[in-house]
């Protein structure tokens, strides 16, 4: 089968590799669509990061570069390993793409995303969605019902956004300010709107501001060049400020804005992955008793996220900005996201095209 293989920084190759073997307790899936994630882009430009370097195998997967890429994917079940009776061949599914030790409890309510040596399918080994086929453990497979397969490729990043919402403990009727309208910022806003919050977004890019408004995920979008965003939020909340803030940009001035924009006693969730250590206005954090929280991945979020998409509360089709084949992965995918990043939310790849 064909697969996109990460060898090293700026070295991804489309190769023919053996199809994976079906083992007891695993599920064979024909991949339909796979999204290109910001993490994939960082691996391409700066890696290896999550990818274990050649000669340094991951302690759970036992693999190192080259590895098959892709962790945001959907597909159709083609075969079931021994012992699996609750799924059927022909079902459409998504994969929760974790590499986690077999003895870790991954039931709902457990914080398994924080377990030792956690990594991701499509980064740390065990195949990936940028290939024609994959075989994964049963516990990571989620049926999607009638959700179209192209839209379902966005369930994984939407689960990241849902987990950030859960971490915030936000409630319907509250006010949220989202810093940054990139893919995760927009999807975070989509979850917040679906859960009944008033959502404001701060963003510089004209294309991203337009996307936030046309998709309906924001009640209003503020451009910091046009004035003080925090003051604008206070004006719309009778001087209180937002109940929750979400940092989705990894830009220090955005974090500063959020510390100013949330009310005393408010919550800020950092969703973005930082490539550097920012300065944090600790006096403001202390004097306002702000709760600053981190979030990584998801744990038990996929069922709720699938329900949000399947019920129509979130229209994932609006966030797909390009569809390409595997042969176009670099020119139409990675290079496009590098050169025209503001024009895209999610580029999805058909591994058979």
Quick check: 124 pLDDT over 90? Answer: yes
pLDDT of residue 1: 98
Mean pLDDT of the chain: 97
Q: Which of 150, 222, 241 is nearest to 181 (CA)?
A: 222
CA distance 45 to 10: 6
The gap from C-alpha 9 to its chain's centroid, in whole angstroms, comes to: 22
Cβ neighbours of 129 (radius 10 Å):
33
DSSP states along 176-239 = EEEE--SHHHHHHHHHHHHTT-EEEEE---HHHHHHHHHTT--SEEE-GGGS-HHHHHHHTTTT
The gap from C-alpha 12 to its chain's centroid, in whole angstroms, comes to: 21
Q: Which of 188, 185, 183 is nearest to 161 (CA)?
A: 188
pLDDT of residue 174: 98
**Confidence label for 276 from pLDDT (cuts 50, 70 and 90):** confident
Average pLDDT (210-230) is 97
pLDDT of residue 342: 87
Quick check: 166 pLDDT over 90? Answer: yes
Element at 312 (helix H, strand E): none
Quick check: 3 pLDDT over 90? Answer: yes
């Amino acid at each position: 089968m064909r697969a996109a293989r990460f060898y090293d920084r700026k070295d991804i190759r489309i190769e023919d590799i053996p199809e994976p073997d079906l083992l007891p307790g695993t599920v064979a899936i024909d991949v339909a669509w796979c999204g290109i994630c910001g993490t994939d882009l960082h691996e391409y430009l700066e890696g290896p990061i999550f990818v274990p370097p050649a000669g340094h195998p991951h302690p759970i997967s036992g693999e190192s570069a080259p590895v098959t890429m892709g962790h945001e994917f959907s597909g159709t079940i083609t075969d079931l390993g021994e012992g699996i009776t609750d799924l059927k061949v022909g079902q459409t599914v998504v994969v929760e793409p974790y590499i986690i030790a077999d003895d870790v409890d991954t039931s709902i309510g457990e914080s398994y995303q924080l377990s030792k040596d956690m990594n991701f399918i499509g980064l740390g080994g065990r195949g990936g969605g940028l290939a024609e086929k994959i075989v994964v453990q049963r516990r990571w497979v989620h049926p999607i019902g009638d959700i179209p397969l192209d839209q379902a490729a966005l369930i994984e990043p939407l689960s990241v956004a849902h987990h950030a919402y859960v971490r915030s403990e936000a409630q319907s009727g509250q006010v949220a300010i989202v810093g940054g309208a990139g893919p995760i910022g927009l999807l975070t806003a989509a979850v917040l709107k679906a859960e009944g919050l008033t959502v404001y977004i701060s963003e510089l890019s004209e294309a991203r501001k337009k996307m936030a408004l046309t998709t309906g995920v924001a009640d209003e979008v503020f451009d910091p060049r046009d004035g003080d965003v925090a003051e604008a939020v206070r004006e719309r909340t009778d001087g209180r400020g937002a109940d929750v803030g979400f940092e989705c940009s990894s830009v220090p001035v955005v974090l500063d804005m959020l510390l100013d924009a949330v009310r005393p006693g408010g919550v800020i969730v950092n969703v973005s992955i930082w490539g550097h250590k920012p300065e944090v206005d600790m006096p403001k954090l202390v004097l306002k008793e702000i709760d600053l929280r981190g979030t990584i991945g998801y744990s038990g979020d996929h069922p709720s996220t699938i329900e949000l998409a399947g019920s129509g509360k979130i229209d994932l089709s609006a966030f797909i900005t390009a569809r390409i084949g595997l042969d176009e992965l670099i020119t139409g995918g990675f290079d496009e996201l590098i050169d025209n990043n503001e024009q895209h939310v999610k580029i999805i790849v058909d591994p058979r095209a």
